[in-house]
Structure 1
């Protein structure tokens, strides 16, 4: 089953970004993922205001692939750098309709 990662990221420093992007790009591909959107062009249409500089949407072939990416030893130092250098929220969402 397809899974999606949805991230809200607001950098609090830019030190990590130059090293993060090429590594994350390579590791997303390694785990079968694909970026669907990485953009600062977004607006919130409802709910309590949850600001973020960047919204990211990835597609994964499975939940296991998404988790393998997050736990990849090559990714961990970059994840730590992103976590320290930003306010981030990451959601993994099953590509199904439970309400159908």
Structure 2
């Protein structure tokens, strides 16, 4: 079953970004992921304001692919740099409709 990573990221420093992007792109693809959206063009239309510089959606073939990406040793230092250099939230969402 498909899984989705939904992230909001607001950099507090941009030092990590040039090294992060090539590795993240490579490792997402290596684990079967596909970026559906990675943009600063977004707007919130409901609820209490939750500002973010970027909104990112990645589609994974299965939860195991997303978990393998997050545990990837080649990605680990870049993940640490993103966490240290931004305010980030990452949600893993199963691609199903529990209310159908």
TM-score of the aligned structures, taking structure 1 as reference length: 0.99
Report the 3-state secondary structure (helix = DSSP H, G, I; strand = E; otherwise coil) of the residue aligned with 1:15: coil
Does residue 15 (structure 1) correspond to residue 3 (structure 2)? The answer is: no
CA distance in 1, matches of 2:43, 2:14: 23
Stretches of structure 2 that go unaligned for 5 or more consecutive residues are none
RMSD: 0.3
Stretches of structure 1 that go unaligned for 5 or more consecutive residues are none
Number of the residue aligned with 2:29: 29
Deviations 1:49-97 (A, max 9, x none): 1000000000000001001000101111000000000000000000000
CA distance in 2, matches of 1:28, 1:52: 22
Deviations 1:20-73 (A, max 9, x none): 000000000000000000000000011111000000000000001001000101
Deviation at 1:18, TM superposition (A): 0.1
Number of the residue aligned with 1:6: 6
CA distance in 1, matches of 2:67, 2:46: 29
Number of the residue aligned with 2:62: 62
Report the 3-state secondary structure (helix = DSSP H, G, I; strand = E; otherwise coil) of the residue aligned with 1:51: coil
Runs of 4+ in 1 over 6 A off after TM superposition: none
Aligned residues: 100
Report the 3-state secondary structure (helix = DSSP H, G, I; strand = E; otherwise coil) of the residue aligned with 2:32: coil
TM-score of the aligned structures, taking structure 2 as reference length: 0.99
